[in-house]
Amino acid sequence: MQAIKKSILILSILFISTSLKAQVNDSAFLFLDKTEINTGILYDKANHLSSLENYNGFNDSICTFSNWKQMYYEIYNAQFQKSLNVPSLQNVIDLKNIFSNSKNDAVPLTIMNFNYNKIKAFAIDSNLIGINNGKYFDVSNRTESPYEEKRVFAFTAYMEKLTFPTVDFYIGK
């Protein structure tokens, strides 16, 4: 009986931690002028569980499929309008399934290449942006934008484990 309770507790913790991946605190960013966030993506909105900033196209970082998915969730959740830039992960999965069904031994590559904005580290101290009761707000007469633009570029095979003796990778047209 004790082992069953432990198993249920572990499964509950796993479920909760998986659910946390998708949570976003939109209310903290309600009072910001979204027109200054030119990418439509403000990374500060997402829970930072990946090392997304290491995948900028310049660093030599190895990306697993699990890490790619986490970065994708973060970019998806950092959008201000969900239909704006980033398709849902389900759309990506559907495209993968269509492609995989047409080529049995193919291993699709998932590629992420997005520009995003981030609040500058010194923005609050330099009075470029304000915060009150956990809510960010614009500051008038600021000397520069409180946002910096960054890029995430990462790719990986669309599976964690390959069981084929040889592998052909395909990138869609």
Give the tens place of pLDDT for each residue, 79-91. Answer: 887 665 677 778 7
Residue with more model confidence, 107 or 38: 38
In the predicted model, is pLDDT for residue 169 greater than 90? no
Taking CA 144 as the corner, what is the angle to CA 140 and CA 150, rounded to the nearest 5 degrees?
A: 125
1 pLDDT above the threshold of 70: no
Helix (H, G, I), strand (E, B) or coil at 42: strand
Lowest mean pLDDT among 11-20, 114-123, 132-141: 11-20
Is the distance from CB of 32 to CB of 137 less than 8 angstroms? yes
More confident residue, 158 or 63: 63
Strand order in the sheet with 106-119: 147-157, 106-119, 168-170
Token representation of residue 142 = 């600021």
Please state the pTM of the whole predicted model: 0.75
pLDDT for 112: 87
Per-residue pLDDT at 66:
85
Spell out the residues 6+ positions from residue 141 whose beta carbon is closer than 8 angstroms to its own: none
pLDDT of 75 > 50? The answer is yes
Q: What is the pLDDT of residue 103?
A: 61
How far is it, in rounded angstroms, from Cα 110 to Cα 92? Answer: 9
For range 129-133, the mean pLDDT:
93
